[in-house]
Structure 1
Amino acid sequence: MKITRRTILAGLTVGAASKNAFAAPSFVTPDIPPLDPRDYAEARRHFSTGLIKHHPAPETAPPLGTPPGAVRITYPGGPDGSIPLIAWHSQYEPSQKLKPAVLFLHGGNATGDGHWALMKAYWEAGFVVLLPSFRAENGQPGNYSGFYDETADALAAATYLENMPGIDRNRFFIAGHSNGGTLTLLAAMTRKFRAAAPISAGVSAWRYFGRYSDEICFDPENQDEFIMRSSVCFGKSLKCPAFLFRGNQEQPFDQDHQLLIDRVREAGISIDRKLLPGTHNGVVPGAIGESIKFFNQFT
C-alpha cells in the first residue's frame, strides 16, 4: 500500500515523495538493542558508513533561498569540510554581552521556509538560532546516508555557530524535530552542548528503517550500520542534560526510549521526557516553547 511520506508541518517541504512504508525489511530488529561500551565520538572516529546506494535525500524540494528574518550562509559540511551546505541564522548584532545560541535540526529530508518560520520563537526569546540544511537536500551536493553522515553535517554546523561573533559557548544548545531529533541525540553524544531538546526523536535505526525500508542506503546485513545510527546503543555517551518531547497524538514513547533513558541515567546524566498536546507535526511549536523554558534553566 502506498502512503504519502510524512510532512513536517504544512508547507515546510514540498513535493514529498510517496513511500511504501510497509515493505518487509530485509533485517532482524533486536528485541533489546545492544549496548555499545565505546564512547560514541570515539566509535565514529573508527567507523565509515559503506553506502551501497548513492542518491539525493528522499524528499524532493526546490533550491534554498533566504526566508524573511534569516541570514543565509554557507558552512563546510561533513567531517572534512568538503561539502558546502546552506544554513540560515537569525539576525543579531554581536556585542560584548555574549548571546545564547540554539542549533536547530529540522525534520524530514528537505529544508523549507516553514521550518524557518518556527525559529522565530527562539530569536524572540533572545537566542541566536542556526538552522542548517544537510547533504543531498534541496539539490545540494553529497549523498544521502540515513543519519550517519548527516550527523557530521550537524556537528560542522555546530562548529560554525559557536564560532560566530558574540556567541556564548557556555550557553550553546541543540534541538531538533523528528529526523532532526534523531540527529540531535547523535550529535549530543559526539560533542558537548549545554543541553539538548530532541522532539519526536527516533532512537533506534532498526525501527526507523523497518518502517522506511526504501531509504536504506547501506548494507542491511551489517549490524554496525544500525548500531552507529542508534542513540539507544550509546546511551552512556550522552554529554549533556536532555529533555525528550513528544506529541500525545503520535506514536508513544516506546521501550527503546525507556531503555535510552535508563542507560543515560546509569551514566549519571540528567534526562527526562514529556508528552505535549499534538500530533507528530503539530507538537512542534509547543515543544519549541518547552525547549526554551528548559534551556533558560541553564542561562
Structure 2
Amino acid sequence: MNKRISLERRTLCRHVLFTIMATLLSGAMMNTCIAGKPTLASLHNHYQTTVKAEPMIQMPLPVPPPRLFEAVQYDSDAMSLAAFVTPDPADEKKHPAIVWLTGGESNTLADFWRKGAKSNDQTASPYRDAGVVMMFPTLRGGNDNAGHIEVNYGEVNDVIAAAQYLATLSYVDSNRIYLGGHSTGGTLALLVSEVASSTHPNLFKEVISFGATQETMFLQDVNFDKGDKQREVELRAPTRWIQDIKVPTWIIEGKSLSSNYRDLKPMCHKNPMLHCAFIPNHDHFSVLYPINRHIAQQIMADQPISINVDDKTTAF
C-alpha cells in the first residue's frame, strides 16, 4: 500500500469518527472504522472511480421464455437498469429468492436461462427447479443499459439496488433473499457482501460465492491514466475487506488443480462470518450444479446453509 493511500485512509478515518460523534446525537450510527481503518462501504461513499470500460460483448437484452422469466426495470444511482425475475407463481405465498450474478462480463446477460450440462451449469438452474424465485440483473453499461462498466465498483450499488427491488415483490419473502454468483460474479458477490454488511445489513440472508478471486480480474485491460491504479485495484479486491463481512458468506470452489481454490484459501479463517468449502473431485464449473442443488434444498427448507466437505465420504 503506498503512502498516499495510507494517508487518505487515516484522514478519512478521522473524518468518519467525527461524523459518528455527530450522528450518535441523533441516534444514527453510520459506517465506521473497524480496528482503526475505514470500511469498504465508507470508502465507496468518498471515492469516485475513473474507470469507464467498454463492454467486451455488445448485445441487446435477451428474451427468455415468459413462463421462466419476465423483464423488469430497477433503479440504481439514477439509472434504470434491466433485470429478469421469476414470474409470480400466483399461489398467494411468500417465496425465498436469490439474486444470481453470472461469470465472464457480469454486466451483460445472454441466454442465461438455457441449462448447461451438470458438469457446467452456469445458469444456477437448481434454484428455480426447487422453487426459489430467481433474479438475474444486468448491470451498468451492460446490454442496452445506461452508464459505463466500472468493473466491480459501481456495480456493487447495482446489485444492492436489484435486491431491494426484489424485496418489494408481493410473492417474495423479503427476509429470505440470498445473493449468489460464479467466477467474476462470485468476486462481485463478495464485494457486495462486504459493502452491504455495513449499508444494508438485513438485505441478504446469506451470500454464496463460487470460484471468486482475491482481486477483480480484467483490470489489466483498463486504462488508469486518469486515476490511481493502486487505489482502484484495492477498492475492487475482496481479500482486503474480509473483516467487513457481517452476513453469513460462503466461498465455494472445486478442488481440482485448474480451479481457484489455492487463491481463495488465504481468505478463509479471517472472519467467523466467512465460510469456505473446497469440494474434492470437482473443478471451477462442475462444482456448480451439485452444490447449488444442495443449497437450494436448504433454502427451501429455511435452513442455514451447511456444506460438509469430507474427502472420503462426501459425494456431491
Tell me the TM-score range normalised by the shorter chain. Answer: 0.7 to 0.9
Give the CA deviation at 1:67: 3.7
Q: Residue 262 of structure 1: SS of its match in structure 2?
A: coil
Tell me the amino acid that sits aligned with residue 87 of structure 1: A
1:251 aligns to 2:249 (yes or no): no
Q: Residue 57 of structure 1: SS of its match in structure 2?
A: coil
Task: Measure the CA separation in 2 of the matches of 1:70 and 1:195.
Answer: 23
Residue 289 of structure 2, aligned match among 281, 285, 295? 285
Aligned residues with identical type, % of pairs: 23
5+ long unaligned stretches in structure 1: 1-26, 28-33
Aligned to 2:71: 72
5+ long unaligned stretches in structure 2: 3-8, 10-34, 116-122, 306-316
Give the CA deviation at 1:293: 4.5
1:114 aligns to 2:121 (yes or no): no
Q: Which moved more, 1:175-184 or 1:274-283?
A: 274-283
Give the CA deviation at 1:199: 0.8
Q: Mark the structure with the bigger radius of gyration.
A: 2
Q: Residue 148 of structure 2: SS of its match in structure 1?
A: coil
* RMSD (CA atoms): 2.8
Flag the 1:288–1:217 CA change in 2: closer, same or farther, 3 A. farther
Residue 196 of structure 1, aligned match among 207, 217, 221? 207
Residue 136 of structure 2, aligned match among 131, 135, 142? 131
Residue 98 of structure 2, aligned match among 85, 97, 102? 102
Aligned to 2:28: none
Residue 223 of structure 1, aligned match among 193, 213, 230? 230
Tell me the amino acid that sits aligned with residue 237 of structure 1: D
Task: Measure the CA separation in 2 of the matches of 1:203 and 1:116.
Answer: 29
Q: Which moved more, 1:135-144 or 1:228-237?
A: 135-144
Structure with larger RCO (C-alpha < 8 A, sep 6+): 1
1:271 aligns to 2:270 (yes or no): no
Task: Measure the CA separation in 2 of the matches of 1:36 and 1:135.
Answer: 33
Runs of 4+ with deviation above 6 angstroms: none
Flag the 1:220–1:259 CA change in 2: closer, same or farther, 3 A. farther
Q: Residue 146 of structure 1: SS of its match in structure 2?
A: coil
Give the CA deviation at 1:274: 2.2
Give the CA deviation at 1:133: 0.9
Give the CA deviation at 1:158: 0.9
Flag the 1:96–1:65 CA change in 2: closer, same or farther, 3 A. closer
Flag the 1:233–1:55 CA change in 2: closer, same or farther, 3 A. closer
Aligned to 1:237: 244
State TM-score, norm by structure 2. 0.71
Aligned to 2:26: none
Deviation string 1:110-159 (CA, Å, 9 cap, x unpaired) is 31113564244212222111110111122322111111011111111111
